[in-house]
Homo-oligomer: A and B are copies of this chain.
Amino acid sequence: MRSRPTLEDVARAAGVSTATVSRVVNTPDRVRAETRQRVEAAVAELGYAPHFGGRALASNRTGTVGAVIPTMENAIFARGLQAMQEELDAAGVTLLVATSDYDAAKEAHQIQTLLGRGVDGLVLIGEARDPAVYELLERFEVPFVLVWTWRADSPWPCVGFDNFAAARDLAERVLDRGHRRIAMVAGVTRDNDRAEARIRGVRAAMEARGLALAPSAVVECDYRIEPGIEAARGLLAAVPRPTVLICGNDVLAAGACRAVRAAGLRVPEDVSVTGFDNIEIAELLEPPLATVHVPHRRMGRMAARNLLARLDPAAGGACGAERPASLRLETEFLARGSLGPAP
């Protein structure tokens, strides 16, 4: 078995010192072009990949940022992650993504794994998690940023939006169109503060107009089409029938639209449907989906910049840098064909 090439092997092949190899890896701008090319040729020839014996030890940096997201399916997180990756990539940092299936214990394990792999920073979705996880993050002194969430008094840096306010705003638009019999196809609230905040937002808007969101009018289900169809079918069987299904996201709303049609009803003439996220399918549906536009790409980009600012050695490194301010992004309600006046 051939062993992996080391920093020493590269130095020997290039006829330079190990310190020079390290400089080429970490601060290529400070190395003469000719030397750099010699080292890079040796790196390529030997198949050297800098790891804990190279770049990491030399600079205490690994050039990687980890993200733990709940799921890769359904493109809910896709666009934001893609933008984050592009921004990190431009800074020479690789984004490594793990998925937790909306399971807090799995997420904690994956955070441990990423810290163990030596990531320079972490991106996490939402805020609610076991205090032990935050203690772990502080102990490792690895900078992290919370995305898809924003709360004025959060102790952690957030780059995201206010799920509660966005859902309340959407519900107000629904109420403005005369709807009173409102039901919700919601996401599962366990281990998911965003799903929980969206339900609270709808409830707050209704209560402000003297209406109640009955527990029986809220069904929680996985963010996938089939469970969305099932949940909507159950809600549509209520007597009297709801005039609108407010859905926890666009995927559930796509399922709800199908359930309305499967029941021989029309969207929006008989039952209106709303989503949340404005992912690609929202505009492709017929009628197009009324939903909340989330600035996914901007959120991903700004989250990356937030982390990079704290990783920049010029700013004093991860420990010395001041914590950048959280950033609240605006969401926007999009009135589209799936939301009509109450029948």
Please list the residues of chain A having a beta carbon within 8 angstroms of any beta carbon in chain B: 1-2, 4-5, 44, 46-47, 49-52, 54-55, 62-64, 66, 71-75, 77-79, 81-82, 85-86, 89, 94-99, 101, 106, 109-110, 112-118, 132, 135-136, 139-141, 225, 251, 254, 280-281, 284-286, 319
Contact between chains at A116 and B55 (CB < 8 Å):
yes
- Number of this chain's copies in the complex: 2
Contact between chains at A284 and B254 (CB < 8 Å):
yes
A52 to B86, CA, bound (A): 29
**How near does chain B come to A41, taking the closest CB pair, in angstroms?**
12
Contact between chains at A96 and B99 (CB < 8 Å):
no
From B2, B81, B113, give the contact of A94 (CB < 8 A).
B113
**Nearest-CB residue, chain B, relative to A52:** B52
From B2, B62, B95, B117, give the contact of A62 (CB < 8 A).
B117
Contact between chains at A72 and B51 (CB < 8 Å):
no
Contact between chains at A95 and B99 (CB < 8 Å):
yes
A73 to B135, CA, bound (A): 33
From B52, B71, B81, B82, give the contact of A82 (CB < 8 A).
B71
Contact between chains at B75 and A140 (CB < 8 Å):
no
Contact between chains at A72 and B78 (CB < 8 Å):
yes
Chain B contacts of A2 at CB under 8 A? 139, 141
A5 to B114, CA, bound (A): 15
Contact between chains at A72 and B74 (CB < 8 Å):
no
Chain B contacts of A66 at CB under 8 A? 96
Chain B contacts of A62 at CB under 8 A? 116-117
Contact between chains at A280 and B47 (CB < 8 Å):
no
Contact between chains at A113 and B49 (CB < 8 Å):
yes
A251 to B49, CA, bound (A): 36
From B4, B44, B97, give the contact of A97 (CB < 8 A).
B97
A5 to B51, CA, bound (A): 20
**Nearest-CB residue, chain B, relative to A85:** B99
